[in-house]
Amino acid sequence: MKELTDRALDKVRQLGASYGDIRIVRRTNESLSTKNGKVEALESSTDEGFGIRVVADGAWGFASSLEITPEEVDRVAELAVRIAKASASVEHEPVKLAPVEPAEGRFEWEIKKDPFEIPIEEKISLLLDADHIIQQTPEIKVSEASMQFWRTEQIFASTEGSYIEQVKTESGAGIEATAVSEGEVQKRSYPASFGGDFATAGYEFVEAWDLVGNAERVAKEAAQLLTAPQCPSDTRALILEGSMLALQVHESCGHPIELDRVFGTEASYAGTSFLTPEKLGNFKYGSDIVNIVADATIPGGLGSFFYDDEGVPAQCVDIIDEGVFVGYLTSRETAEKLGQRSSGAMRADGWNRIPLIRMTNINLMPGDWTLDEMIEDTKRGLYAGTVVSWSIDDMRLNFQFATEFAYDIEDGSLGKLFKNATYTGITYEFWGNCDAIAGEDEWHLWGIPNCGKGQPGQAAHVGHGVAPARFQNVRIGVVESQEESEE
């Protein structure tokens, strides 16, 4: 492959590019799912190609193709430079890149059990067993179980002398039970909704979640929700379970710190950010116990890697320090505008997409509480979790999320189960009201494989390490119950 990458880089240099890089990526995916006791899908996909990114006349160009041949490399290199020159024909600021040391080497995350080597029958059998147990609860109308695995092999080479090979294997699984009665549909998922939990790991990660052992509980909880009362509407303390808090971190901490978004390059799609540069180092984002890092180096993280797609080494970067906003996720181009080195957050969803600033593992550092202590310490509150829906405004301030379950907390004890729970707030007010975070024993690094951004759309694999946490004065139950509206 080195011959091809050299050929591409020589070509773009000859055509006048001041910078160029090429990524050759091969990704294999296996997806297995069961539904209502039947095998729903057994799917395998392979996808391979290359993309060339250049700066010419001070502007960006990118072209990609599925055909990895010398002739096609020449054609695509020429096209990338032509595209960059077309970009430059519109008035623009010349691209400047923060420096990076060239790197060489082959890097691979170790796994214990290769998921692609585990027999299909064994994987299906596990899913069908879990599915079968879910179905035993009469109220369940849809039982589902799924697994997903990816292997990504990538070569990155740049005109600055980098040649980096990386191999990564990712695994994940989950179950869902949907209970239906007249006019009501309720769902419970495990270990998280939308396909479960994912990690840079092998099949051992799937086994550790014990889907079969949790299937009955999940089904019964879904059935219970059918007759549960509507979540009330008021303001109280809210304790969030881990997978829900992971989404809270994702939407209200992860996206606002992407510096390309801050500079407006996502303005037309997902929006910009309230975390403008003058806030760096002095904006009180959360309470004093809130500490957040962007850690691309942590083993097992879905957002972990060795080098990003600009050849910048993976790093652990402070984002929120004792409640104060101190760092962004950056690229070489955006970091340069702040006079910094890149924090190494540029990643592309495959060979046919350009790198964008993407979350790595955005982790809320553990505190010194336990979940039980938090509940015991809460006079009037709600313990809620597992994602149903999410929505946040285009500056990442006003959010509203819905959870699968919510338990009333009265005088330090869990009470009634409520259905259709929602909560809403403004990002920095919400984090400013965080007064308790559970400790390391309850801290888990959740994997989210479908973080959307960019046009054309790209799905990034990202991680969020969190332990359950408590927030005071949260508006819950945006949708009023029938009883409340009649009062």
Partner 1 sequence: MLGKEKVLEILNKVVEYSNADMTEASITIGESSLTRFANSFIHQNVFEKNACLAVRAIIGKRIGYATTNKLDDEAICSVVKKAVAFAQHSAENPDFVSLPHPKPITPIDTYDQQTALFGPEDRASAVAQLISEARKQGASAAGLLSNGYQEFAVVNTLGVNAYNAMTRARLSTVMTSDSGHGFAEQVSQRIGDLNPISAAVEAATRAVRGQNPVKIEPGEYDVVLLPYAVEEMVILLADLGFSALAVQEGRSFMCGKFGQQITGKNITIWDDGLDTRGLPRPFDAEGVPKQRVDLIVKGIANAVVYDSYTAYKEGKESTGHSIGGPGTYGPFPTNLFLEPGDSSIDEMIASTKKGIFVTRFHYTNTIHPILTLFTGMTRDGTFLIEDGKITKPVKNLRFTDSILERFSNVEMISKDTMRGEWAVVPAIKARGFRFTGVTEF
Q: Nearer Cβ to partner 1, position 306 or 353? A: 353
Minimum gap (Å) between residue 86 Cβ and partner 1 = 4
What is the closest distance, in whole angstroms, from the C-beta atom of residue 84 to partner 1 in the complex? 7
- Cβ closer to partner 1: 107 or 116? 116
Q: Which is nearer to partner 1, 152 or 304 (CB)?
A: 152
- In order of 251, 406, 423, 471, the CA distances from 235 in angstroms are 22, 14, 9, 11
> Of 178 and 378, which CB lies nearer to partner 1 in the complex structure?
178
In the block, tokens 């009333």 appear at 408
- Residue 156 and residue 470: Cα distance in Å, rounded? 43
Burial class (CB in 10 A: 0-12, 13-18, 19+), 132: middle
* C-beta closer to partner 1: residue 47 or 321: 47
Handedness of CA 258, 264, 265, 268 (dihedral sign): positive
Burial of 22 (0-12, 13-18, 19+ CB in 10 A): buried
SS3 sequence of the chain: CHHHHHHHHHHHHHCCCCEEEEEEEEEEEEEEEEECCEEEEEEEEEEEEEEEEEEECCEEEEEEECCCCHHHHHHHHHHHHHHHHHHHCCCCCCCCCCCCCCCEEEEECCCCCCCCCCCHHHHHHHHHHHHHHHHCCCCEEEEEEEEEEEEEEEEEEECCCCEEEEEEEEEEEEEEEEEEECCEEEEEEECCCCCCEEECCCHHHHHHCCHHHHHHHHHHHHHHHHHCCECCCEEEEEEECHHHHHHHHHHHHHHHHEHHHHCCCCCCCCCCCCCCHHHCCCCECCCCCCCEEEECCCCCCCCCCCECCCCCECCEEEEEECCEECCCECCHHHHHHCCCCCCCCEECCCCCCCCEECCCEEEECCCCECHHHHHHCCCEEEEEEEEEEEEECCCCCEEEEEEEEEEEEECCEEEEEEECEEEEEEHHHHHHCEEEEECHHHCEEEEEEEEEECCCCEEEEEEEEECCEEEEEEEECCCCCHHHHHC
Q: How far is the CB of 379 from partner 1 (least distance, A)?
A: 26
Residue among 59 and 293 whose Cβ is closer to partner 1: 59
362 forms beta bridges with: 294
Compare residues 182 and 487 and give the one whose CB is closer to partner 1.
Answer: 182
**Residue 462, both tokens:** 């990202």
To the nearest whole angstrom, how small is the minimum distance from the Cβ of residue 456 to partner 1?
Answer: 6
**Measured CA angle at 113 (ends 108, 116), to 5 deg:** 85
Nearer to partner 1, 128 or 280 (CB): 128
CB of 31 vs partner 1, minimal distance in Å: 8
Q: Could you tell me the smallest distance in angstroms from the CB atom of residue 378 to partner 1?
A: 24
Read off the tokens for 438.
């559970």
